[in-house]
Amino acid sequence: MTITCCATLVGQRHIVSINSDWQFSKMGDTISVNLPHTYNNVDAFDDEPGYYRGPVNYFKFLHTADLDQEKKHFIRFGAVNQVADILVNGKLVGSHVGGYTSFTIDITDELTYGVDTLEVIVDNNHNENIPPLKGDFTFYGGIYRDVELITVDDSHFSFDHYGSDGVYIDPLRVEGNAARIGVRGYVENFDEKTQKVVVSIYDNNGKFFHKMSPPNYSESNGEWKLFFDLKDVKFWSIKNPYAYKFVAEIIDTKSNIVRDKISIPYGIRSFHFDPVKGFRLNGKYEKLIGVNRHQDRPNIGNALTIEHHIEDLDLIKEMGANFLRTAHYPQDKSITDYCDKYGILVSIEIPLDHQISLSEEFAEVCKEMTLEMIHQYYNHPSVIIWAYMNEMGLGKKIDRDSSEMWSVAALAKEIENLIRKEDPYRYTMIPNHGDFDVYHHFGLTEIPMLVGWNLYYGWYEPDFKGFGRFVDHAHKIIPHKPMLITEYGAGADPRITSNLPERFDFSLEWSYEFHKSHIEQIEQRDFIAASAVWNMFDFGSESRQDAVPHINNKGLCGFDRIPKPVYYLYQSHLRDDMEKSNQESSINAPTKYDSYWSNNTQLFINMGTSFSFVPENVSSTWYPSESIPRGIMQIQGGNRYIVRDRGIGSDRAISLTDLDPVYQTQVQDLSNINFTSPNGIYRIVLHYSSLSTKQKQSQIVKINNSLPIAMIPSQPFQAYSITTITEVEDERINLDFVSDIGKTFINGIQIFKL
């Protein structure tokens, strides 16, 4: 494939996509792929524990005969997770560590200007020196963002400055309707005697606004600087994200030929976080209400196209959000481009999540990631916060983990100082989980400029109102620190509804009540400057074994991007043009024997639960046993099996099934279940699984005095079912349970009238 498609020409800079026609090899197997690509889009969601984390190889031919041999040629990778070695014609030309920022490799000296080979060795193995070491999300491997071939003049703006384009805009002073703006950058092979750097500013309509050449140029590091004093400025805001266009050019002074050119849309704004009154943009207080976002989707993992990213942001914008936290890593540049254009404020953080290594190399990698993040996203007016740690005290005790936590604090100080030096115009933040004393004791509430709290009252912790008590206490102890709620949320399986919602049942109704309470508590407190729901979308987390295995389903939308009812709750709250949402339960359980069986030929019962369950792509509902009236079903004995201190059923995925919510709940210690049903022939399916590695279970079941049926689960957390046919002659289906080992039990029952 020749590299002539998808090209754009910006000044003398030529950029072409090289996403197509790659060969991908893993463990000896080779297939053809196009980029973006991940090799964990399937195995991170199967029933086998773990997913492949190791080396793979990407390879393609570059047809370079038409490239200008007098120019420089670079390969830019949007992101590769997490270690990449780049080879051209078999020679190593560059490497990169870290899976969430872009990097550029100079390949000029290795090209033959015929047919060249480009090879990328990728490894997403766990590495103690590379964050993230832990995290509640899947660490997909692969070249999962776009790859471009860039051709530029020998004199060009530098690509070597932490993966950026080498030009930066500084909002030195913004007040009244005036602003002092600095523009600086780095150039390669620049001759000050015959060349000049010119920066021009155009308004939102493309009309010329201002122009200036830099007053000084440093030969030592290729840096140049200039300053603009602008009057009658139109400011960038949430409702009117006005953007000027800054154009930087390298121009020959004699021929007036443009050697390189970069265009940067940039909005001028001022902002301030107040510890009492919240957030102020251009002097006006704004309540920031928004979401967190992970970057993966079904079947493709994190290998999203730009169109996918834009679809996600369209949903966020349509909901009415004005704030986005790109947890827990920098995301594709199309995200911040969109937020610049549509007025969504952004917090970005490096993937330093839950745990550190004590090695010096780990600290250096963290700082390099921080520098790449800052420089690559520096010119985006939507970005107002740099964050760099998440929940570092999770599971920690003040006395037991003192040494490790002081090391965390020491690293935090290093990163904090680095950020403030590199970007004095934005705020810094560390998001913490809800153990105030741990973070305050080790100074993590004092080191950053902002304090973020990840709070789950009504989910991991009981009582919605505990949220208000926590934030009031934190505000009282550290009244000088602006506060953000960086996470809050409740799991919601789109298949589960309940008339009697309870904590950790994963019902849509509990999620709805959770968010309704939290919206009210956040709005009541001006000192909460911003809040971000965890999460906008359900996302992959391979180690999770909830109702939907390998998925964290706290999203306002499903993994498939279909909004849940709680999405519309936020939409009605955030948008004045939307009607107020009023969630109603969707359970319509059978009420009477005669009316039910006259209109239906089947009954599915989920034992030991108060929620109903509708599997994907199936119209049948599994009704909770607790909702079935005695006129249809009677149980003798029996108790809901309580597996843990919160929620309904097991928190373990069940193998060999997609009906996990059926097998995760159970009634134990019952002797009989009796159904009232019309006479006829029925198919009965009994579903069962063992929900404990310690508890042995074996039983005999008799249906209408038929031959006994043995129900013996040989493996815990595995789905089993038994099907039998029975004839009803006295309007009764009778199930007798007799224990062989342990307590009697049943997880689900299906009855089909034939």
What's the average model confidence in pLDDT over 202-224? 79
For residue 297, being part of any structural domain is answered with yes
Same domain, yes or no, for 279 and 296?
Answer: yes
- Predicted local confidence at residue 6, as pLDDT: 35
Which positions ≥6 away from 51 have C-beta within 8 Å?
Answer: 40, 43, 44, 138, 542
| Residue 110 DSSP symbol | G
> Tens of pLDDT along 646-661?
777 888 888 888 888 9
Question: CB of 722 within 8 A of CB of 684?
Answer: no
Same domain, yes or no, for 673 and 629?
Answer: yes
Could you tell me the pLDDT band of residue 530, with boundaries at 50, 70 and 90?
A: very high
Q: Which two tokens stand for residue 531?
A: 């809040």
- Predicted local confidence at residue 583, as pLDDT: 61
> Tens of pLDDT along 575-594?
988 766 666 555 666 766 66
| 143-147, 214-218, 231-235, 311-315: least confidently modelled range | 214-218
- Residue identified by tokens 């560590």 is 97
Which amino acid, residue 611? F
The DSSP bridge partners found for residue 552 are: 539
Buried b (16+ CB within 10 A) or exposed e, 97-127: bbbbbbbbbbbbebbeeeebebbbbbbbeeb
For residue 564, being part of any structural domain is answered with yes
Same domain, yes or no, for 376 and 445?
Answer: yes
What's the average model confidence in pLDDT over 270-281? 97
- Ranked by mean pLDDT, which of 191-200, 315-324, 694-703 comes out on top? 315-324
Q: Regarding beta strands 528-533 and 288-292, do their DSSP bridges make them parallel or antiparallel, or are they unpaired?
A: parallel
Same domain, yes or no, for 110 and 192?
Answer: no
Separation of alpha carbons 131 and 126, rounded Å: 9
- CATH number at 194 reads 2.60.40.10
The DSSP bridge partners found for residue 55 are: 123
Residue 11 pLDDT > 70, yes or no? no
Same domain, yes or no, for 656 and 734?
Answer: yes
| 26-40, 101-115, 282-296, 708-722: least confidently modelled range | 708-722
Same domain, yes or no, for 282 and 386?
Answer: yes
Q: Length of the chain in residues, anyone?
A: 754
Query: pLDDT over 90 for what percent of the chain?
Result: 74
Strand, coil or helix: what is 180? Answer: strand
For residue 685, being part of any structural domain is answered with yes
Question: Which residue is catalytic, options 188, 349, 391, 626?
Answer: 391
For residue 581, being part of any structural domain is answered with no
Residue 375 pLDDT > 90, yes or no? yes
| Residue 625 DSSP symbol | G
- CATH number at 718 reads 2.60.120.430
- How far apart, in Å, are the Cα atoms of 277 and each of 245, 425, 474, 476? 33, 20, 15, 14
Range of the domain at 121: 8-157
Same domain, yes or no, for 262 and 279?
Answer: no
User: What are the phi and psi torsion angles at 651 (to 5°)?
Assistant: -105, 25
Residue where one domain finishes, among candidates 574, 607, 632? 574
For residue 694, being part of any structural domain is answered with yes
Q: Residue 332 is inside which H or E element, if any?
A: none
The DSSP bridge partners found for residue 198 are: 249
Q: Which two tokens stand for residue 346?
A: 């952004």
- CATH number at 452 reads 3.20.20.80
- CATH number at 147 reads 2.60.120.260
For residue 2, being part of any structural domain is answered with no
Question: CB of 408 within 8 A of CB of 447?
Answer: no
Residue 554 pLDDT > 80, yes or no? yes
Question: CB of 750 within 8 A of CB of 691?
Answer: no
- Predicted local confidence at residue 580, as pLDDT: 65
Which positions ≥6 away from 572 have C-beta within 8 Å?
Answer: 578, 579, 580, 581
Residue where one domain finishes, among candidates 157, 181, 201? 157
Same domain, yes or no, for 390 and 535?
Answer: yes
Same domain, yes or no, for 339 and 395?
Answer: yes
Could you tell me the pTM of the whole model? 0.88
Same domain, yes or no, for 120 and 223?
Answer: no
For residue 162, being part of any structural domain is answered with no
Helices (H), 284-401: 306-319, 333-342, 360-376
For residue 582, being part of any structural domain is answered with no
Q: Which two tokens stand for residue 721?
A: 């079912």
> Tens of pLDDT along 436-454?
999 999 999 999 999 999 9
Same domain, yes or no, for 664 and 603?
Answer: yes
Could you tell me the pLDDT band of residue 610, with boundaries at 50, 70 and 90?
A: confident
Residue 360 pLDDT > 70, yes or no? yes
What is 239-253 written as a DSSP string?
S-B--EEEEEEEEET
Based on the residue annotation, tell me whether 391 is a catalytic residue of this protein: yes
Which amino acid, residue 615? P
**What's the structural domain count of the chain?**
4
Could you tell me the pLDDT band of residue 7, with boundaries at 50, 70 and 90?
A: very low
Same domain, yes or no, for 342 and 491?
Answer: yes
Q: Which two tokens stand for residue 645?
A: 């201190």
What's the average model confidence in pLDDT over 507-530? 97
Buried b (16+ CB within 10 A) or exposed e, 487-499: bbbbbbbbbbbbb
Residue where one domain finishes, among candidates 546, 574, 602? 574
- Predicted local confidence at residue 576, as pLDDT: 86
